[in-house]
Amino acid sequence: MGPKGVVGLAGALIVVLLVLSSVYIIPETHRGVKLRFGELVQTDMQAGLHFKVPVIDQIREFDIRVLTMDLPSRQYLTIEKKPLDVDSYIAWKIRDVDQFYRATGGDEFRAQSLLQSRVDNGLRDEFGVRTMVEVVSGQRDELMHTLRDRANETAIKEFGIEILDIRVKAIEFPGEVSENVYRRMATEREKLAQEFRSRGRELAEGIRADADRQRTVVLAEAFASAEETRGEGDGEAARIYADAYGSNEEFYSFYRSLQAYQNTFSSKDDLMVIDANSDFLRFLKDPQGGR
């Protein structure tokens, strides 16, 4: 290849490089600004194919998707001067590329620092006019909405940033406060447990007393029924004996005497001094009973 061919090839390469360096593409998820010698000459450049002057022009691109930022844990005082450790986060996006670049120089970390400062001050103000119960549960959503609206108004005006949401992830008591709270909770639970135990003992005594009363009543009724049955049995036995005595008086007398002998002379050591002519011994002397 001759000198003219080399020069032609070099020229073609230069033209290609100039064309390539003059054309650029902004993605759909980004917006851009054009700087010329460091001066802002075009803002809010939309996604698509664009041209620039090589070397002279510089393109800065910014992500316009929703971004999140976790805020460092901070301690805020409620209206009762009670400290609370709060963890929160922000969801935000670039709304006005021109204003964003002018306020932050296109530095995302600087933008996050500015947002953090505004939200931190807003949280301190909102916690300072509410009680602990309100910020923990009662008015938590209202607090977040109020803070978001106020911070968003300032962020759009000053930084070109839209704050979509501010959320509290956790609210904790500081270590020493937590210990006191847990101690008080334990005391309250112990007191409640003692009340339940006392109430249980009182109920147990009542149940035990009622059971004893019922036992006494049942035993008394059973004893009365037994005595009644026993009396009926004794009466029936007496009637049977009377019928037997009436039907054969001599045999009845003999039977009763045998029972008396058995009960009286149940042991060899038994001793009785009695008249031999006593009526008690008449069946021993004569099986016919002296008839």
Taking only Cα atoms into account, the Rg of the chain, rounded to an integer number of angstroms, comes to 56
pLDDT of the residue at 16: 56
Angle at which helices 175-247 and 249-264 cross, to 10°: 130
* Residue 132, pLDDT above cutoff 80: yes
Mean pLDDT on 118-145: 84
List the structure tokens of 84.
């609370």
pLDDT of the residue at 93: 92
List the structure tokens of 23.
């054309």
- Assign 5 to helix, strand or coil: helix
pLDDT of the residue at 90: 92
Mean pLDDT on 137-165: 87
List the structure tokens of 91.
């969801």
When pLDDT is cut at 50, 70 and 90, the band that residue 271 belongs to is low
pLDDT of the residue at 164: 92
Please provide the average confidence, as pLDDT, over all residues in the chain. Answer: 80
pLDDT of the residue at 272: 64
Residues 177, 85: contact at Cβ < 8 Å? Answer: no
pLDDT digits (tens, 9 = 90+) for 50-76: 777 777 888 888 888 999 999 888 888
* Residue 91, pLDDT above cutoff 90: yes
Residues 93, 164: contact at Cβ < 8 Å? Answer: yes
For residues 217 and 100, what is the distance between their CA atoms, to the nearest angstrom? 93
When pLDDT is cut at 50, 70 and 90, the band that residue 25 belongs to is confident
Mean pLDDT on 192-218: 90
pLDDT of the residue at 207: 92
Per DSSP, the residues of 106-138 read: T-HHHHHHHHHHHHHHHHHHHHHTS-HHIIIII
Q: Taking the complete model, does pTM exceed 0.85, yes or no?
A: no
When pLDDT is cut at 50, 70 and 90, the band that residue 186 belongs to is confident
When pLDDT is cut at 50, 70 and 90, the band that residue 19 belongs to is low
* Residue 26, pLDDT above cutoff 60: yes
For residues 71 and 112, what is the distance between their CA atoms, to the nearest angstrom? 9
pLDDT of the residue at 248: 65
Mean pLDDT on 223-231: 89
Dihedral sign from CA coordinates of 154, 105, 63, 48 = positive
* Residue 229, pLDDT above cutoff 70: yes
44: buried, middle or exposed (CB in 10 Å: 19+, 13-18, 0-12)?
Answer: middle
When pLDDT is cut at 50, 70 and 90, the band that residue 85 belongs to is confident
CA angle 117, 120, 124 (to 5 degrees): 140
When pLDDT is cut at 50, 70 and 90, the band that residue 81 belongs to is confident
Per DSSP, the residues of 184-252 read: HHHHHHHHHHHHHHHHHHHHHHHHHHHHHHHHHHHHHHHHHHHHHHHHHHHHHHHHHHHHHHHH-HHHH
Residues 38, 7: contact at Cβ < 8 Å? Answer: no
How many other β-carbons are positioned within 10 Å of the β-carbon of residue 55?
Answer: 8
pLDDT of the residue at 33: 86
**Range of weakest confidence among 100-114, 142-156, 211-225, 267-281:** 267-281
Q: Find, among 154, 152, 132, the residue nearest to 144 by Cα.
A: 152
* Residue 255, pLDDT above cutoff 60: yes
Burial 263-275 (b: 16+ CB within 10 A, else e): eeeeeeeeeeeee
